[in-house]
Amino acid sequence: MAVEPTFEELFRQTKRSAVHLEMRDGYMRSDPDFVSWSQDPQSVPPLRAPEMRPWLSLMKEITSRGVEVRRARIFSEPMSDYLRYEHHLTPSNVAAGEIVRWLPRRQASDLALPGNDFWLFDDSLALFLHFTGEGELSPEGDEERSRAPAVIRLCSTAFEAVWERAVPNEEYRPI
């Protein structure tokens, strides 16, 4: 049985595109940076050098070789503290090469969406992420992968529908 590539390896193997749809109002609230930011928003700079954060370094690496990375976030308004934190940090994602858009949940009611957040790699592999009700990665298995054509089509169609309606990061202001 072949060993599945790690999450990081999936990005390194990607040739054209990686898209991510986020649909929760909070993630990993135990993250020390979020805890610090919650107490003092000035304690976490909005723009960080990629070499200081492994995720940003990986995004810089793959986008510099021509892979398009798009992230769309569906969220409730007024925005949760955690999403305000993510909005605060998004300039670093953009500087590392990601393209980010925001869609208020009320504007997504008529869209058919998968039940979980996902990454879609080169329109051929969907990786679903599973979280607890508190936004932590699920201890029962934090991911699920699918290459089923119907699943890929659902994820691709859902992402593109959200992307079309969503507001580019540089234009969105939290309320």
The domain spanning residue 101 has which CATH number?
Answer: 3.30.870
How many domains does one find in the chain? 1
Q: What is the pLDDT along the chain (175 residues), one digit of tens a residue?
A: 678 999 999 999 999 999 999 999 999 888 888 999 999 988 888 877 777 789 999 999 999 999 999 999 999 999 999 999 999 999 999 999 999 999 999 999 999 999 999 999 999 999 999 998 888 888 887 899 999 999 999 999 999 999 999 999 999 998 8
3-state secondary structure of 50: helix
Tell me phi and psi for residue 27, to 5 degrees: -140, 145
Q: Which two structure tokens, joined as six digits, stand for 136?
A: 């932590």
pLDDT at 48: 78
Boundaries of domain holding 103: 7-168
- The owner of tokens 């079309």 is 164
List alpha helices for 75-144, DSSP H: 81-95
Establish if 116 belongs to a structural domain.
Answer: yes
Establish if 173 belongs to a structural domain.
Answer: no
Establish if 126 belongs to a structural domain.
Answer: yes
Establish if 143 belongs to a structural domain.
Answer: yes
Instruction: Give yes or no for a contact between 155 and 118, defined as CB atoms under 8 angstroms apart.
Output: yes
pLDDT at 3: 84
